[in-house]
Amino acid sequence: MRPLFCIAAASAAFLVLPGIARADRTVAAVVPSGGDGLKLSAAHPIPTEVSGQPGPVRIDGCFSDGRGTDGLTLVHHALRVSNTGDRGITAVRVRFAFYDAFGDVMATRTNVAEARVEPGQTVDRINLAELSDSGPPARITCSVDAVRYADGTVARTR
What are the domain boundaries of the chain? 2-34, 37-156
| CATH number for the segment(s) 37-156 | 2.60.40
How far apart CA 118 and CA 20 sit, in angstroms, is: 47
Q: Give the residue from 80, 52, 48 showing the smallest Cα distance to 64.
A: 48
Who wins on pLDDT, 97 or 68?
97
Burial class from Cβ neighbours inside 10 Å (0-12, 13-18, 19+) for residue 92 reads buried
Q: Beta strand pairing status for 89-99 and 105-117?
A: antiparallel
pLDDT number for residue 134: 72
pLDDT number for residue 52: 72
Q: Is the full-model pTM beyond 0.75?
A: no
Who wins on pLDDT, 119 or 130?
119
Summarize pLDDT for 13-40 with one digit per residue, the tens: 333 333 333 333 333 333 344 556 768 7
Compute the C-alpha angle 64/65/71, nearest 5°: 130
Summarize pLDDT for 47-78 with one digit per residue, the tens: 999 987 767 888 988 999 888 877 788 888 88
Average pLDDT over residues 145-150: 92
